[in-house]
Amino acid sequence: MGNGLTQQSRSTNLFGQVNYRISPSFTSSTNLSTSHSFSNGFGPYFYIIPDGKVLGSNLLVRADQSTRNSTNDVFEVQQLFNGDFRLGSLRNRMVVGLDYLHINSNQLFFGSTYDTAPIAKDYDYSKFNGAALAALYASKTPDFMYPLSGIKDTYSAFVSDVLNLTDQLSILAALRVDAFHNKGGLVGSPVAGYNQTAFSPKFGVVYQPLKDKVSLFANYQNSFTNQGIYNAYDVTASDSLTQRFARLEQANQFEAGVKLNALSGRLTTTISYYDIQVKNLLRTDPNPLAAAKFAQTQDGTQLSRGVEIDVIANPFTGFNVVAGFSYNDSKLTKADADVNGRRPTTASSPVLANLWLSYRFNAYGLRGLGFGFGGNYASDNKIQNSVSLGEFILPAYTVLNASAFYDQRKFRISAKVDNLTNQHYWIGYTTMNAQKLRSFVGSIAYKF
């Protein structure tokens, strides 16, 4: 793109904490945070579409989403009481908390599609610039205007307790209650205020057949997303749209696994399996008349299952290994026909792995000298995955890194090489973002 497609943004964040010991068994923690953010200017973005003529040939859509003097203010206060006490012979570790969150938004998003350009090495992309977009907005109304304003208050209370039934068996029970108070405002168009209450439970159990060496665990937890208001199709009201308050989007997760601590702590491994089922997802209404009006219905479902493995090892003095592996199978199980049964474009790569090896010399004359080597792997990532548009895949990649350091009492010298093999790779969350090629970083620190 050309010059001038910039956006000014600034933010101020403040955080404060007060800790108090009530007794040997109970402590109090009060946390306050506030933030103010501002943005103004262009927000260029791009996406790819098939050209409709040649199979596998694509075009680049160039578009903008600007903000105009937009502000967002957030204030939160949280009060926690932590207790570690016994009832008879049973040890309890309890957390009781209260939380208040206040959000005041006054934002305006607007934008337009600029043009559709070919993907070619000799094409002049600099014509997509700040002056051209300013001229476009001066000549016509933006394709969309999306004001977002209003005040939201959330009042929460939660309690959690870990109870040691024996030295080898402990159970967890927790409950969180959230009361949402939306005072209304603008979400693209005027919306009425509403109140909504959510309950989120959690249960867990840990059993150690070999104390401090082998732990078996299982847990269940519920989480939710407040979706606010959506436009539904009302066939009884002259086939028009009507605003409805969305039910809470609910996710129920079950997880189970084993944690091993072997070789006197030199090897720690955690292996877990999870199953997450999401319901009440908003999706396009399958009724063709409703879909033509961009109406939604709230009966969508999604399923995610996977395995995670983490290993931390110290096989001999000075040598450390950190490794991880995860596999995630995610799919939309009830969604628009265009994507039903497919992996969501927000699910990232199904297979991820990481490895880091480091060694620090401890012998006289070399003490403080160390080296590290490792990297990350990600499998193919489908950032476009539908019947109508097909698939657009970011290829799998392996990125290797290396480091060296010399650490002494008064100073430290270090050097690091990221992307050692100069790998061309992209990451994305429905987008494609080119990542840095090989880079070198060196530092010298003196300790007073």
Each residue of 417-436: pLDDT tens digit? 999 999 999 998 888 889 99
Q: Which residues 6+ apart lie within 8 Å of 167 measured at CB? A: 208, 211
What tokens were used for 399?
């990125």
**DSSP string spanning 343-404?**
PPTTS--SEEEEEEEEEE--STTTTTEEEEEEEEEE--EEEEEETTTEEEEEPPEEEEEEEE
Is the pLDDT assigned to residue 264 strictly greater than 90?
no
Res 161 pLDDT > 70 = yes
| Exposure letters 305-335 (e unless 16+ CB within 10 A, then b) | ebebebbbbeeeeeebeebbbbbbebbbeeb
93-119 average pLDDT score: 96
Separation of alpha carbons 206 and 91, rounded Å: 14
At residue 26, does pLDDT exceed 90? yes
pLDDT confidence of 55, banded at 50, 70, 90? confident
Local confidence band at 57 (pLDDT 50, 70, 90 cut-offs): confident
pLDDT at 237: 63
- At 365, the pLDDT band (50, 70, 90 cuts) reads confident
Confidence band, pLDDT 50/70/90 cuts, at residue 53: confident
Strand 433-434 versus strand 439-446 pairing type: unpaired
- Look at residue 332 in the predicted model and tell me its pLDDT: 97
What is the tens place of the pLDDT at every residue in 112-141? 999 999 999 899 999 999 999 999 999 999
Helices (H), 265-338: 288-291
Q: What is the pLDDT of residues 193-224, one digit of tens each?
A: 889 999 999 999 999 999 999 999 999 999 99
Q: How far apart are CA 83 and CA 27, in angstroms?
A: 7
Q: What is the pLDDT of residues 314-352, one digit of tens each?
A: 999 999 999 999 999 999 999 999 999 999 999 999 999
pLDDT, residue 412, reads 93
Name all domains of the chain by residue range, CATH numbers in brackets.
7-446 (2.40.170.20)
Listed in sequence order, the residues at least 6 apart from 166 whose beta carbon sits closer than 8 Å to its beta carbon are none
Q: Which amino acid is at 330?
A: S
Tell how strand 369-378 and strand 381-386 pair up.
unpaired
| Residue 189 burial (CB count, 10 A) | 11
Which residue carries 């933006």 as its tokens? 142
pLDDT, tens digit, 9 for 90 and up, residues 295-304? 999 999 999 9
Q: Is 348 or 189 the better-scoring residue by pLDDT?
A: 348
